[in-house]
Amino acid sequence: MIATPALARVGLAYALVAVALRLTVAAPEHCGAEPSPERFRAAAEDGVAWIVANQRPDGSYLYEWRPGAGASPTYNRVRHAGVTLALYQAGAVEAADAATGWLTARLEHRHGWAAVAEGSRAPLGATALLVAALAERRAGTGDDRHDELLRSLGAFMVAVQRPDGGFTLGWDLAADRPDTSGTSRYYPGEALWALARLAAAFPGEGWDGPARRAADFVATRRDEVENVAFPPLNDHWGAYGLAELAAQEPLPGEWLAYARLLHGRFDLLVRNEAKRRDSGPASVLHGPARRAAALGTWVEGEAALWRLAQQEPALADLADDALGTAACGAGLLADRQVHAGPREERGAWFTDGVTRNDDQQHAVSGLLATAAGLERP
């Protein structure tokens, strides 16, 4: 071979970069055991079993558990609503109804609406997720007993929607006006989905207008308003909302373009998670595994985008990718679940020695949605 000093330097530079890439960006990705809907459903059932086994007699949930330290005294009503949603998605109606009873006993009723109260405020997110949960119950059981409540909760969401389609934080109960003390990155997506579900449940009642305004805000302005450093925000609630709206009407090109970007974000997050290991250089270079609440939302998001792609021809090309990424994330979730120990541990997902009920919520929702996608012919 005729080698020159310049070529030797070129070769060395490429070799060093290639090694660095293999350790970092191009590290092997492992998506857990072979993906199968049966395995994912079994993991979801175990997660539901954890939620139900640790539910309090009054319908509230075990919020957070650390072996050796026990249960945390804190609580979060937004997460209570979210866990209840997951139970309805899993068909655990009895346990979910008990949780719904706990939450509806803590509603604030004024100005013709109803909202979940937490202290001196009524956070939008809790109400939105309660709407999603009750809509899920209605769709799954055919029971319309909560229809008037759904309309009242919906009226609250409309009351706190801004002219730009975004939302305030909720309601300041002490001052009796919209809570404009800040904004939330994820409440708009939650409200979008909730309003879209109301539009589906009650066609012709005018819920579609606020839902479309929320979708337009989420797809075209939210990331800028919330100063998201590297958009798009990984908003699985937004993905849920767009998929729900697409079932009712074709979506504008701008929203579909946003959905495509959202798929890219979830895909990158899941693929990076698939590079993480418990030992070896990867554990140092790629950091520790993210908690199930995070990974679960990415799986939920991809599964929702897969459903969206089934309905929108312009996104048909990303359907297989989205379901594949969801399956990768679901495989990681199934691998990381705890399967032994006392009832506070068995069926849960732990990170840094602690589990929180939304770890189980998002994991269960993601596993079920992915299983449903894989089972579809």
Is the CB of 9 or the CB of 145 nearer to other proteins?
9
Of residues 283-312, those binding other proteins (CB under 8 A): none
Is the CB of 179 or the CB of 267 nearer to other proteins?
267
Rule CB under 8 A: say whether 38 interacts with other proteins.
no
The tokens describing 208, both together, are: 């579609």
Rule CB under 8 A: say whether 263 interacts with other proteins.
yes
Shortest Å, Cβ 289 to other proteins: 17
Look at residues 130, 178, 119, 176 and name the one whose alpha carbon lies nearest to residue 153: 130
The tokens describing 241, both together, are: 């909302």
Rule CB under 8 A: say whether 74 interacts with other proteins.
no
Is the CB of 25 or the CB of 105 nearer to other proteins?
25
8 A C-beta contact, residue 52 and residue 83:
no
Of residues 90-109, those binding other proteins (CB under 8 A): none
Rule CB under 8 A: say whether 271 interacts with other proteins.
yes
Rule CB under 8 A: say whether 276 interacts with other proteins.
no
Distance CA 136, CA 133 (A): 5
Rule CB under 8 A: say whether 10 interacts with other proteins.
yes
Angle ∠(9,15,16) on CA atoms, nearest 5: 90
Shortest Å, Cβ 298 to other proteins: 12
8 A C-beta contact, residue 120 and residue 108:
no
Shortest Å, Cβ 224 to other proteins: 16
8 A C-beta contact, residue 183 and residue 166:
yes
In sequence order, the 6+-apart residues with CB closer than 8 A to the CB of 208 are 199, 248, 249
Distance CA 128, CA 78 (A): 9
Site for other proteins (CB under 8 A): how many residues? 29
In sequence order, the 6+-apart residues with CB closer than 8 A to the CB of 227 are none
Q: Which stretch binds other proteins (CB under 8 A): 12-20, 52-60, 201-209, 303-311?
A: 12-20
Instruction: List interacting residues with other proteins (CB under 8 A).
Output: 1-4, 6-7, 9-11, 13-14, 17-18, 21, 25-30, 260-261, 263-265, 267-268, 271, 274
